[in-house]
Amino acid sequence: MANTTDPPTTDPPAIAIDVEPSSTMETKTSPLTANVARILLLLRSLQRGRHNMDDPWIVLPLELHEFDDLFVRIGKNETLWGWVYDKLRFTYDSRTSTFVIRRPVRLHEAFQSQVDDWIQDKLKAIADSNAQSKPFVQDISCCRSATILIEPPGNERVVISHSPDSQFIYLDTGWPSVVLEAARSLGPKSLSGLARDYIVQSGGNIRAVVGFELDTESKKVSLTVWRAHCFIHPENGPTVGMRSTTQVIRDEHGTTNPDEGSGLRLMLWDFAPDFVPDLRTTADPHPSLLIDSAALCKFIAIMEESERKRAAGELVTSSRYKDCVKKRSVWPEPEEVYEEDGFVFGEEELSVHARFLGTPVDTRKVTEGDEKGDVGEVEK
Query: What is the per-residue pLDDT across 233-249, written as a single tens digit (0 to 9) for each?
Result: 888 788 889 999 999 99
The pTM for the full model equals 0.81
CB 212 within 8 A of CB 206: no
Nearest to 255 by CA among 220, 222, 223: 220
Bridging pattern class, strands 176-184 and 208-214:
parallel
CA distance linking residue 95 with residue 63, whole number of Å: 9
The residues of the chain scoring below 50 in pLDDT are: 7-24, 364-380
d(CA 334, CA 79): 13
pLDDT in tens, 309-325: 988 888 887 777 666 76
Q: What is the pLDDT of residue 120?
A: 96
Q: What angle do CA 338, 339, 345 make, to 5 degrees?
A: 125
Cα maximum dimension of the chain: 79
CA-based R_g, the chain, Å: 23
Question: What is the predicted pLDDT for the residue at 2?
Answer: 52
pLDDT at position 358: 62
C-alpha to C-alpha distance for 51 and 74, rounded to whole angstroms? 18
Dihedral sign from CA coordinates of 294, 296, 297, 298: positive
Write down the pLDDT at residue 326: 63
Backbone angles phi, psi at 298, to 5 degrees: -65, -45
Give the span between the Cα atoms of 376 and 374, in whole angstroms.
6
pLDDT at 327: 65
Q: Are 90 and 163 in contact (CB under 8 A)?
A: yes
Residue 280, SS3 per DSSP? helix
Question: What pLDDT was estimated at residue 211?
Answer: 95
